[in-house]
Amino acid sequence: MKCEKRFYWLMIICLTILSFGANAQNKTVNLHDGWQFRQVGETKWYAATVPGEVHSDLLKNKLIPDPYYRDNEKKLQWIEKKNWEYKKSFQVNAETLKKKHSELVFDGLDTYATVYLNDKLVLKADNMFRQWRVDVKKHLKTGTNNLVVVFQSAQNVVDSLAKKDLPYVIPDNPRVYVRKAQYHFGWDWGPKLTTCGIWKAVRLEAYDTKAAEKAFVPSRKIELVQQPDSLGKSFYFKIDGKAVYMKGANYIPSDALLSRMTKKEYEKIVLSAKDANMNMLRIWGGGIYEDDYFYDLCDKYGINVWQDFMFAGSMVPGDKAFFDNVREEVKYQVKRLRHHKSIVLWCGNNESDEAFKNWGWQKSMNMSKQDSTRLWKDYVRLFQDSIPKWVKEVDPSRPYISSSPLFGWGREKSYTEGDSHYWGTWWGLADIENVQNKTGRFVSEYGMQAMPNYSSIEKFTLPEDRHLFSDVLKAHQKAGNGFMKLNSYLDRYFIDSTKVKQMKVEDYTYLTQCLQYYSLKNIVGIHRSKAPYNMGTLVWQLNDCWPVASWSITDYNNRQPKAAWYAIREAYRDDKIAEIDLKRPKDLPLEDPQISWKIKGNEIIIKAMKPAKYVFVDIKGYTGKLSDNYMDLEAGKEMRISFEGKIAKPIIKITSLYEVLNRYK
C-alpha cells in the first residue's frame, strides 16, 4: 500500500514538472471583452457580455422588459425563434503566431453555433455541455482578427428534427434532440426562456507543446451498496468504509439566465445547504453540469454530490451522431469534474426509465410496438451499455446507476429497493401521513409546494395583480393544477377551501409556507425514523431559478429561506431525533397569543402570553437570513431572533397562525 502511494505521488510530481515546462511556453489570450450582438438580418449592433446569453444582452440594452416581471415571460417567446449573431475583434502579435499551435477554445456554446474567424468557417458546434477546441493557426494574422459566432434557434432546429422523424415520435418533447439544458424549454417550476449565447469562457491558446493532462487519483473510497436483504434490496453510500445517512436536497440551476450566477450567489446557495445540516445535493438531470466553483464549495463544506447526466424525463435519439456527441460530452464532463472529492455518484438520467414504463406514452402517442421496442433499445444502449463504459474509461473509482429511480412510486418495489421518488404526496394528493407506509430505501425526491416569499411577490407584481388567482400569479405557478393541489392540502390541514378565495395573497402565501413546513418536517422525521432501512432523504428542491410558486425551500430573491428551510434545518440535525408531529394544524385549539416584541442590538426579543404556532417575523426590506423563523412560542417564554448586520429603524411585522386563521372565521 505504501509503495502504491509513493508511486502515485512520484507520478504527480513528474507530471507537474512537465506541465510547468509546457505552461512556460504557452500563451493565452482571453476573448471576453468587446463583443457585440444583433439579430441575424438586422443592421444595428449592440454591446454584448461574454460569458452570457441573448436574453441578458437584450435586457441590458433595454430592448426587452425583465422576463421575470409580471407575465413578461410569455411576451418574450419570439426571442427563441430568431437567430442571433455575435462578433468581436482581437489583436494577435508576432510572438503568438510563432507558436506551432493556436487553438480557439470555447468552454461553452449554447448551442447550435457556427464560428467564423477572419471570414473562414472554423467550427460548427451542437452541444452546450462540451468544450469546443479548434486549431486556427492557419487563419490567424498579425494585428486585427475578426471573430463571428452565429447561433441558430435551438427551438427551430429541434422542431425541424422532430418533424423530420415523423411518424416516429420520441417522447415527450422535441427538446430531446438537442444537447442543451432541458429546463430552458420550460418546466413545472421554470420559465420557457430558450436561450443562446457564448455562455462560458472563450480564449485563444497558443503553444508549442501541449500541457500534460492532470493525473487523476481518487481522494476517497466511495461505494454504493445495493445488496439483497430480507426486505428487498439496500441502497446506501459507504465512504471510506463507513455507511453514511444522506440528508439533503435536489439542486436545479439557480437561474434561468445562467450568466447571473456569480461566486457570491453560489456561496449563498451552497451555504444554505450546509447551514440546513445537509450532507448531499443531487444535481438534477434537466439542468447543467455546474460551474467548477460550485463543486469547490461542496468540497470545502463537506457536501456530497449525486451527479446526474443531463437527461430528464424523456427518451433519446438512437442515431450515431447523437451517441458520438453524448460520448464526447460524458468524457469531457467526467474528466473536468472527477477531481472533486464531493462527487460520489454518476447517474445516467432523471426519471426516464420510470417515464417510459409508467407515464402512458405508448397509449397517449399511439405508439406502435415496433417504435416502442426501438425506443427502449436505444435507451438501454445509451444508459445501460454506453455511458457506464465511457464513465469507467475516465473514472473507474465512482459508482454509476442508469436512472433515478428504477421503479415509479406506484409500484411496490419503489419502497423496497433502489432509490425512490415518492410523489404520492403532491402529485397523488395523498395525505402526509401516508409516508409512514411509503418510505423507500433511499428517497431521492419528494416535496410540497409553497408560494415564494411575499417580498418576492411584491417585486414581480403590481398591486392590481395581488389577488387570488390573478393571471400574473398564475404565470408564476407552472405546476399542472398547482393552485388546486395547494388548496386541497390547505383544506385538509389548515383552512376550509371555501374560505381560500377570500384570502389576501399575503395570508395565502403565509399558509402555503406553513403547509410546506409541516409537510417536510414530518416527512423527514418519518424517513429518518426508519433508518437503517432508509438511508437517505433528499427533498425536492433546494432552490429556484426565478420567482415562482414551487417546491423550493429557499426563495429566488437573495436566496432567503422559506419557512420549510427552517423545518429542514431542524429535522436534519444529528444531535437530536427528528420530530414527528402529525396533529393537523386545523385541529389545534388556537388562542390569541398576544405577542409582544422589542429590539436589542441585532436581536428581536419575542414573547407570547399564550402558546403560538408558526410565528413569522418579517423585517421590511431585509435581505438576510434570520436565526430562526416560523417557530412555535411557549407561553411566557422569551425567544431571541438574531439578524445579520444593523438595520436603521426596522419595520417589523409578526404573524402567527391564530391571527391569519382568525381573519377568515
pLDDT in tens, 60-80: 999 999 999 999 999 999 999
The answer to whether residues 366 and 378 touch, using CB atoms and an 8 Å cutoff, is no
Which fold would CATH assign to domain 222-450+531-572?
TIM Barrel (3.20.20)
Residues 6+ apart with CB under 8 A from 311: 182, 285, 286, 348, 349, 350, 352, 383
As a whole number, mean pLDDT of residues 109-116 equals 98
Q: What is the pLDDT of residue 10?
A: 52
Tell me the C-alpha distance between 462 and 465, whole Å: 5
Q: Domain 27-153+194-207: give its CATH superfamily.
A: Galactose-binding domain-like (2.60.120.260)
Q: Is the pLDDT of residue 20 over 50?
A: no
Tell me the C-alpha distance between 104 and 108, whole Å: 12
Under the banding of pLDDT at 50, 70 and 90, the label for residue 650 is confident
The answer to whether residues 422 and 524 touch, using CB atoms and an 8 Å cutoff, is no
Return the amino acid letter for 505: V
Q: What is the pLDDT of residue 7?
A: 47
Q: Is the pLDDT of residue 17 over 90?
A: no
**What are the residue ranges of CATH 2.60.120.260 in the chain?**
27-153+194-207
Residues in the chain: 665
Q: Is the pLDDT of residue 291 over 50?
A: yes
The answer to whether residues 534 and 443 touch, using CB atoms and an 8 Å cutoff, is yes
236-239 and 536-539 beta bridge pairing: unpaired
Question: pTM score > 0.85 for this model?
Answer: yes
Task: Give buried/exposed letters for 245-270 (b at 16+ CB in 10 A, else e).
Answer: bbbbbbbbbbbbbbbebeeeebbbbb
Q: What is the pLDDT of residue 262?
A: 97
Q: What is the pLDDT of the chain when averaged over all its residues? A: 94
Task: Give buried/exposed letters for 296-308 (b at 16+ CB in 10 A, else e).
Answer: ebbbebebbbbbb
**What are the residue ranges of CATH 2.60.40.10 in the chain?**
588-663
What is the DSSP-derived secondary structure letter of residue 110?
Answer: B
Contacts 24+ apart (CB under 8 A), 568-574: 568/249, 568/276, 568/277, 568/278, 568/520, 568/521, 568/524, 568/539, 569/275, 569/276, 569/277, 570/521, 571/520, 571/521, 571/524, 571/525, 571/528, 572/247, 572/276, 572/277, 572/278, 572/524, 573/277, 574/277
As a whole number, mean pLDDT of residues 193-210 equals 96
Tell me the C-alpha distance between 378 and 382, whole Å: 6
Residues 6+ apart with CB under 8 A from 221: 238, 239, 240, 241, 397
The answer to whether residues 175 and 310 touch, using CB atoms and an 8 Å cutoff, is no
**What are the residue ranges of CATH 3.20.20.80 in the chain?**
222-450+531-572
- Give all strands (DSSP E) within 402-485, no chain letters: 419-421, 442-445
What digits encode the pLDDT tens for the residues 226-257? 999 999 999 999 999 999 999 999 999 999 99
Q: What is the pLDDT of residue 214?
A: 82
Q: What is the dihedral of CA 318, 319, 322, 326, to 10 degrees?
A: 60
Q: What percentage of the chain exceeds 90 in pLDDT? A: 91
As a whole number, mean pLDDT of residues 286-315 equals 98
CA 24 to chain centre: 39
As a whole number, mean pLDDT of residues 19-40 equals 81
Domain covering 588-663 in this structure, CATH number:
2.60.40.10
Residues 6+ apart with CB under 8 A from 32: 50, 51, 201, 202
The answer to whether residues 249 and 270 touch, using CB atoms and an 8 Å cutoff, is no
